[in-house]
Amino acid sequence: MYGFILLVGVLSALTIGERLCRRGGLVVTDFWRMAFYAGLFGLAGARLYHVFDYWAFFYAQPVRVLAVWEGGLGIWGAVAGAALGGFVAGGRSFVRYADVFAVCAPLAQAIGRWGNFFNKEVFGLPTSLPWGIYIPEALRPEGFKYYAHFHPLFLYESVLSTGLFVLLYKKYVSLHNKSDKPRDGIFVFTYLAGYSLIRLPLEFLRIAPWSFMGLPVAVWVGVICLFASVLFLRRQVI
C-alpha cells in the first residue's frame, strides 16, 4: 500500500506538471525525461537519507536497505536527489523546468504521506488530542510503550503541503497568464521556503530524530534552505 500511494502521489503531481509545461511553453517530452531521472535519483536520495537517519538499525541489517516497500524515505533526501537527477537529464535547461517540479512537489508529498498512515510511521510524541493516531504496542518506540496515541505528523504535513501546493499552483498560473514571465527559480525557492516552514516546527514533535550538534538534521537543512530562499527571493523584490 505504501508504494502504491507513493506512486499515485508522484503520477498525480507529474500529470499536473505536464499541464503547467504546456501553459509555460516548455517541451513536454523533455519534462518527462527529466521526471524519470528525477524520480530515480529522488528515490535513491530519499532512501539514503532514511538509512543515515536510522544508521544503527540498517548497519545491523544491511539487507533491509533495499526494502523500500517497508517505508522509510526522507523528503529532504528526495529533494536533493531529484534536483541532481533532473540536472543530469537536462543539464542547464533543467533550470527552466525546475519551477514546474517545485510547484507539483507538495502535491506528491501530501498524497505520499498517507503511505505513512498505513505503515504506522512518521508519528510524533504522545498526545491526548482527539486526532491522535493509535499505534500498536509492538510499533511504539522504546520508552513509550505505555502510550497509545501519538501526534500524526504525517497528517499535519499532508494538510500543510496541500495548502502549499494550492498557493504555488495558483501563483504559477496567475504569473504565466501575463506577458512578463517570472524569473527562473522563483517557485523553487518559494517551495523550499514554504516546506522549510512546514517541517521546522514538526521536527520538535518527533521522537529521537537524527540529530547533529543538539538539533535534528532536518532542522539544520530547513534553516539553510529557508535562509537561502529568503536571500534569493529578497533580491527579486529589491
What percent of the chain lies above the pLDDT cut of 90?
Answer: 63
Which cell numbers in the block locate residue 5?
500511494
Query: Which of 220, 184, 229, 175 lies closest to 200 in space, CA to CA?
Result: 220
What tens digit of pLDDT does each residue of 182-226 get?
Answer: 788 899 999 999 999 999 999 999 998 778 888 889 999 999 999
Note whether 41 and 84 are within 8 A (CB): yes
Q: What angle do CA 168, 218, 129 make, to 5 degrees?
A: 80
Q: Where are the domains of the chain?
A: 2-119+152-237
What tens digit of pLDDT does each residue of 46-84 get?
Answer: 999 888 888 777 878 888 888 777 777 889 999 999 999
Task: Specify the pTM.
Answer: 0.89
**Type and span of the H or E element at 150:** strand 149-150
Query: Which of 122, 53, 109, 124 lies closest to 79 in space, CA to CA?
Result: 109
pLDDT at position 185, please?
Answer: 86
Which cell numbers in the block locate residue 233?
527571493
pLDDT at position 121, please?
Answer: 84
- Cα 228–chain centre separation: 18
Which cell numbers in the block locate residue 11?
503520477
Report which of residues 138 and 15 the model is more confident about. Answer: 15
Name residue 124's beta-bridge partners: 206
pLDDT at position 79, please?
Answer: 94
Q: Which amino acid is at 238?
A: I
Report which of residues 87 and 181 the model is more confident about. Answer: 87
Q: What is the spatial distance between Cα 71 and Cα 57, in angstroms, rounded to a whole number?
A: 14
Q: What is the spatial distance between Cα 234 and Cα 238, in angstroms, rounded to a whole number?
A: 6
Report which of residues 44 and 178 the model is more confident about. Answer: 44
